[in-house]
Structure 1
Amino acid sequence: MNLTNIDKLNMLIEQGMFEPVELDEKNIIDENGRGDFRIIYLMNDTVESFLVFKNAKYTGEYNDKFEGFTDIELEKREEGYVLIIKQEQSYFLIFFDDVELENYYYNYGKIGHFWIKGYEHLRVLEYQVAIVWDKMCYIGKESCTDNELKIASLKQFPPLNYCSYPCVPDIYQVPLEDKWHLSKDANNFMMEIAKKAGDTELEEKLLQYGENPTIKNAKKMAKLFRRKEHKKVIQLLMKYIEEAAAVYPDRSFGKSLDERNKKLLDKAVNRKNELEKAGMEAVVYKEEQFVYDCDSVEFNVYVMLWKDGLVNSSVRIEKIE
């Protein structure tokens, strides 16, 4: 999607979404009662994005606890715009000159959520791909590096997307128009990873799948990614995502919270080192709240321990307390 900022605002209006935020001193109103007014546009582990109403002035009252129907309407006027929010008989009006997009990008390479059990290592990949895809779609391709565009392409790779290994229950999924559609770019990217891993068997299977991308073949491919002989491909993909995300800064929540979080992370790293000394493979993942919406999730840290069976690889998740 190539949306203007007004298009983005209209999209939120159509979805009935209006979430004002305060970003510290950036929302200071001047002596004329005007200033910048922000609402949430997109919040995920890759980006915290806001639509900023420039030179805004508002009147009326807005109840963020209101549970009834909120009617929102945008009007274009000669001198700018007015956003009209109606909650029953209460009106909240925002007059502004223009809309700008304000984005804060973060490192998501070690973010993992474990809401669904079974093959959690594959579900983590599905989650990370999905949030990069959302960033690309809602913010624009210019918000992604070339490496991230490759990662985003895997949203259209059914053997690893939510068709096969959903990270969240179906009720929370935003479905694709054709969820079983295979992107040629995605398949080529996976062939690139397989080749780098020296996995000629999987590379050949991917070539065949690209030539005949049926649902049946997608399901067969999905099962192959569980196999322990193809584990290196999955591990290289994880590493690729980690390195692509590392160009962005880590979130900071202030000195005291950062110190507390670091203690948990250090404890997880020590556990990881302990496991590796015993000849096992482990990865550290974390969950973290958003900087400007700290009610999202608690900060949690996990160690994901690889387990090889007779045929398949699986993982065990340890939460660090």
Structure 2
Amino acid sequence: MAQTYYEELQQFLPGLSPDMPDSCIKLAELFRAQAFELHIRTLPAGEEKYYIPYMMNDALECLLILEQCRMTGRYLVDFKGITQAHMAKDGEVYLLVVRQGDDNVFTIWFSSIREEMTCYQYHRIGHFWVKGQEQWRRLVYIVGTLYDKYSYMGDTVCTQAEKELLPLMELAPFRAFSPVKESLDEEYPDTLEGVECMKKLALEAGDWRLANLLKVYRRFPFPWAEKRIQRHMESRAGIPLYEVLYRKTEAASKVYPIRDYGRKSNEETEEKRRAVSRKLQEKGFTGAYPFFRKGSMQILAMEEHPFTLLEAEDFSFRIQFMVSVSKKDSERYNGGFFKGRQNRGWIEKNLDFLEGKQSKGEEE
């Protein structure tokens, strides 16, 4: 680690020393980012476990675990102010003093700090916070999730297939399909690598028009060129590129394990998936979970997964549905989400829309 970076971290965690393990570096980074959280769980045998989340997203769970802990004072769970800390080591015992604002201080003694990290599949996950072009917003979310885990954790958590997709987040026309209401432009740089990454994918998809638009954009990276690329991706012409990127993210994800919540919870999750399959088959759809088709309508089941540890109590496994209606593009994945006179694509939180009066897509 560069000395200047180490010295910077010492400003946020005084007492940090070179003989401490790398997990202490991560702890210092949390205080620098004002992202420190402490979770205390009581195990069935009565033992208390102390967890500090380092990075938790849909592709990675990384926790710092404090061993043989004892604590004085009280951690304020809902505290929103400035958190400061000091660290020391006395023989084989670590000491962490944390101050939340001016009025609350607590101290933790522990024998060691270790890192527990697991990568998980993410290709079935879909969060839908913004209406319109949800098919692209979901892929931007996935690639952004991979970009973030690589930024924090490096090569140890990313395969070569994933790293080849990361430059897409450095291309403004791709980021324009932000999965959240806010722009992503301040979070990611614009680079020539981003342009070349998208151009390579366009050529793989046989989309020469987009490849030429990207050549122009490389020379003239102005808003008008960005909008032309964005409109192309939104139209039916963008479907081949979408399918290529969809397949690549799916293949990259499948090398990782699925989240394991224990036998009972895993079976409950599988039963929810089976219930979706039964419901759609009863309605005349063909296919297998998560993809079903009936005439010009496709339904793709997308999931929201809780963390295996430290998840909020009110969040549980959920299934939402990408509904696509398209006469011309019924054979193309999510074809109805792309702009066209006979195309419709939207999100449903459940399958109740199939009961009685048909969906708004079929009504048209």
Q: Does 1:316 align with 2:334?
A: no
User: How do residues 12-51 of structure 1 correspond to structure 2 at under 5 angstroms?
Assistant: 12-21=30-39, 37-51=50-64
Asked whether the equivalents of residues 38 and 52 of structure 1 are also in contact (C-alpha less than 8 Å), the reply is: yes
Which string of whole-angstrom CA distances, capped at 9 and with x for unpartnered residues, describes residues 240-281 of structure 1? 101101111111222332222223323445636365241444
**Equivalent in 145, 154, 157 of residue 140 of structure 1:** 154
Are the structure 2 counterparts of residues 175 and 141 from structure 1 closer, same or farther at C-alpha, using a change threshold of 3 Å?
Answer: farther
Asked whether the equivalents of residues 23 and 292 of structure 1 are also in contact (C-alpha less than 8 Å), the reply is: no
Q: Does 1:116 align with 2:130?
A: yes
User: How do residues 6-85 of structure 1 correspond to structure 2 at under 5 angstroms?
Assistant: 6-21=24-39, 37-53=50-66, 55-67=67-79, 69=81, 71-77=83-89, 79=91, 81-85=94-98
Asked whether the equivalents of residues 136 and 143 of structure 1 are also in contact (C-alpha less than 8 Å), the reply is: yes
Q: Which residue of 1 aligns with 2:107?
A: 93
**Equivalent in 118, 121, 125 of residue 139 of structure 2:** 125
Instruction: Find the structure with the greater CA-based Rg.
Output: 2
Q: Does 1:166 align with 2:212?
A: no
2:234 aligns to what SS in structure 1?
Answer: coil
Asked whether the equivalents of residues 267 and 320 of structure 1 are also in contact (C-alpha less than 8 Å), the reply is: no
What stretches of structure 1 of length at least 5 have no aligned partner?
30-34
CA–CA distance in structure 1, aligned partners of residues 110 and 132 of structure 2: 49
CA–CA distance in structure 2, aligned partners of residues 253 and 174 of structure 1: 36
User: How do residues 294-305 of structure 1 correspond to structure 2 at under 5 angstroms?
Assistant: 294-295=311-312, 297-304=315-322, 305=324
Are the structure 2 counterparts of residues 206 and 68 from structure 1 closer, same or farther at C-alpha, using a change threshold of 3 Å?
Answer: closer
Which string of whole-angstrom CA distances, capped at 9 and with x for unpartnered residues, describes residues 128-160 of structure 1? 111111101112232100111122222111111
Shift of 1:97: 5.3
Kindly, what percent of the aligned residue pairs are identical? 23
Higher relative contact order (CA 8 A, sep 6+): 1
Q: Tell me the number of residue pairs that the alignment of Structure 1 and Structure 2 aligns.
A: 309
Are the structure 2 counterparts of residues 254 and 291 from structure 1 closer, same or farther at C-alpha, using a change threshold of 3 Å?
Answer: same
Shift of 1:184: 2.9
CA–CA distance in structure 1, aligned partners of residues 162 and 156 of structure 2: 10
1:133 aligns to what SS in structure 2?
Answer: helix
CA–CA distance in structure 2, aligned partners of residues 193 and 155 of structure 1: 14
Shift of 1:177: 6.1
**Equivalent in 105, 108, 117 of residue 103 of structure 1:** 117
1:140 aligns to what SS in structure 2?
Answer: helix
Which string of whole-angstrom CA distances, capped at 9 and with x for unpartnered residues, describes residues 41-92 of structure 1? 1111001111233x44333032344536464313234536421123565532
Query: Which amino acid in the other structure matches residue 154 of structure 1?
Result: L
Shift of 1:16: 3.0
Stretch of structure 1 that moved more, 219-228 or 61-70: 61-70
| TM-score normalised to structure 2 length | 0.74
| TM-score normalised to structure 1 length | 0.82
